[in-house]
Structure 1
Amino acid sequence: MVSTTLERPDKFRIGRVFNDSFAVISRNIGLYLGLALLFSGLPAIVLRLWTESTLSGTALGDPTAVADPSMMFWNSSVGIAAGLISFILSLLLQSALVRATIEDLNGKRPSFGDCIQIAIRYLLPTLGIGLLVVLGAGLASLALLVPGIILWLGWSVAIPVLIQERLGVLGSMSRSRVLTKGSRWALFGLFLILMIITMVIQSVMAAIILLLDGIVADVAAAMLSTVVSMVLSVATAVSYVELRQVKEGASVEELAEIFS
């Protein structure tokens, strides 16, 4: 397969990122759905069923125990554990899709095993970046919303930087701020459009899920989460490639050389 070398774009363009993202997904729909199901869909179903059975089991066993401090602590612990597991799995998914996206843009055929290997190899540093981004942007948002958004946008491609350039946690976050400088409004527009589309789809799905019951509703909710996670992760990876081409004129081939 002939590798892809793109001309240097004049600026970050939302339309180009959209086109490239969905083109990459369409070329690798089986692989991407498989990765999304592995790291998002199936775990979401399992976690949803586990938390529901745990919490409902506690309530059914002794309705008065719900107000007991020890039971409240247990229920909170279950919710925190489920949230942490989901957070880690979302980072694994993003790392795997970054690898797959760069391979595809380089004209290669990304493999399931290779993407999983990369995701697992960089789990700890991606977790470090994820926690720092959540804490940093979250604390800034508590003071004022706009600084929090700006910080989040500045760090939005830190995980692709980590996977591609291997700069470590702080180095990747710093590098992300350099790459996104001058393009953050465009990035904000990209993610805003994606969030609006997601909210519309979620509203429609919520109405449908209300008509469903039990495991069927859980599966439908998990499938929606899978698709949303996949699109956001791919769009982030494509945005990183776009930013490098805008800032440095780096070809896709040069981005992929790091894995040779």
Structure 2
Amino acid sequence: MRASRESPSIVTCNEREPDMRGEILTFDAATRMVAIRGDDGNRYLFPATAIHAGLTPRRGQQVDFSPTEDGAPGEIFILQSGEGAAASTQGGFDLGRVISRTFAAIRDNWLVLLVASIVLVGLPSTLSAVGQTFFWSGDSTGTGVVFVVLGSLLYLIGFFMLQGTAVKAAVDGFNGKKTGLSDALGVGVRAFFPLLGLGILASLGMGFAFVLLIVPGVILAVLWSVAAPAVVVEKRGVLESFQRSRDLTRGYRWNVFGLLVIYIILTWILGAAIAAVSFAAGGTITGGSGPNLWVNLLTGPVVNVLSGVIASAGVASLYYELRSVKEGAGPESLAAVFD
């Protein structure tokens, strides 16, 4: 079956075609399928296992390929390899584009992200803040310690679930679709255990690295920056998601570091603004049992909620940018995993 150039078709690998050259259009790491546009104008779909020598396919690479007539995929020979040959139709990594998408995702899904952040991040932060009041009042029963530890654990779990929620909302937004709160939260809930394991290991690893030296902790934060979206979108295991994040950030780690610095600065500015409001309302800049204890009690959770919205949308946008630039994945292919 052969379609004309005016009406290109998608041809699977069970149709016998002569050897020809083509260009890789997309590679979806979740489904492990490669789309190639042949010199005849048709689109051909192959499993990634058809690629000779196990090279990583990337958009824009020129290939030789030949399907076989018995239904098994023939080999694909990549003529260009390496990061330099993988230019996306969007160009290289664009920091401004990631930031723009971050705030577009927040604008389009602000209610979903805000409510999810209040539930998953705000309530655990409030629990920790209540525990701190026991310290300020001189309580010696250990109740404050229990509240703080429990709140911190729930915050850790909630933050990674929030990333899963934000990925769903952001990807739908990139496709021009609206996401309901229950649908978005459902994604985070379904990935609860992998995200929990990811959060615990990431916190232990980065915490230990920061205790030793600041630099190793920053390096791990960059390397693992998109591990949570890999769990949610690609349904990978915990350790596999860490490696997937390392692979996606390779070649763009200074860009990712710059993005993290920008988000941290935004969080500091946000925290300073809320602290100023707290001080004006009768609280104290540093917290503690000031004249208006409830003001201090609310300041930390509010900062965490708003920071969680920005961070989760930023991670989703960063993941989308890396998948687009390195693998040519579009919003449709990312959204398909949620169908």
- TM surpasses 0.5: yes
Q: Call closer, same or farther: CA 1:21–1:141 in 2, change over 3 Å.
A: same
Task: Indicate the residue corresponding to 1:26 in structure 2.
Answer: 107
Q: CA deviation at 1:46?
A: 4.5
Q: CA deviation at 1:47?
A: 4.2
Give the conservation status (yes or no) of the 8 Å contact 1:209–1:221.
Answer: no
Root mean square deviation, CA, Å: 2.2
Where 1:12 maps in the other structure, the secondary structure is coil
Q: Which has the higher strand share?
A: 2
One-letter identity of the residue aligned with 1:243: L
Gapped regions of structure 1 (runs ≥ 5): 1-6, 60-65
Where 1:259 maps in the other structure, the secondary structure is coil
Task: Indicate the residue corresponding to 1:110 in structure 2.
Answer: 179
Larger radius of gyration: 2
Q: Which has the higher helix share?
A: 1
Percent same amino acid at aligned positions? 33
1:180 matches 2:249:
yes
Deviations 1:10-38 (A, max 9, x none): 22221111111111211222222222222
Give the conservation status (yes or no) of the 8 Å contact 2:109–2:170.
Answer: no
One-letter identity of the residue aligned with 2:271: Q
> What CA distance in whole angstroms lies between the structure 1 residues aligned with 2:234 and 2:89?
20
Q: CA deviation at 1:237?
A: 0.6
Task: Indicate the residue corresponding to 1:89 in structure 2.
Answer: 158
- Residues 15-164 of structure 1 mapped to structure 2, 5 A cutoff: 15-49=96-130, 51-52=131-132, 54-55=134-135, 59=139, 66=140, 71=141, 75-164=144-233
Deviations 1:223-242 (A, max 9, x none): 22211110011000110000
Task: Indicate the residue corresponding to 1:200 in structure 2.
Answer: 269
One-letter identity of the residue aligned with 2:310: V
Q: Which runs of 4+ in 1 moved over 4 A?
A: 52-58
> What CA distance in whole angstroms lies between the structure 2 residues aligned with 1:93 and 1:32?
8
Give the conservation status (yes or no) of the 8 Å contact 1:36–1:230.
Answer: yes
TM-score, normalised with respect to structure 2? 0.66
Gapped regions of structure 2 (runs ≥ 5): 1-87, 282-291
TM-score, normalised with respect to structure 1? 0.85
Give the conservation status (yes or no) of the 8 Å contact 1:8–1:250.
Answer: no
> What CA distance in whole angstroms lies between the structure 1 residues aligned with 2:123 and 2:153?
16
> What CA distance in whole angstroms lies between the structure 2 residues aligned with 1:216 and 1:143?
35
> What CA distance in whole angstroms lies between the structure 2 residues aligned with 1:139 and 1:220?
28
Higher relative contact order (CA 8 A, sep 6+): 1
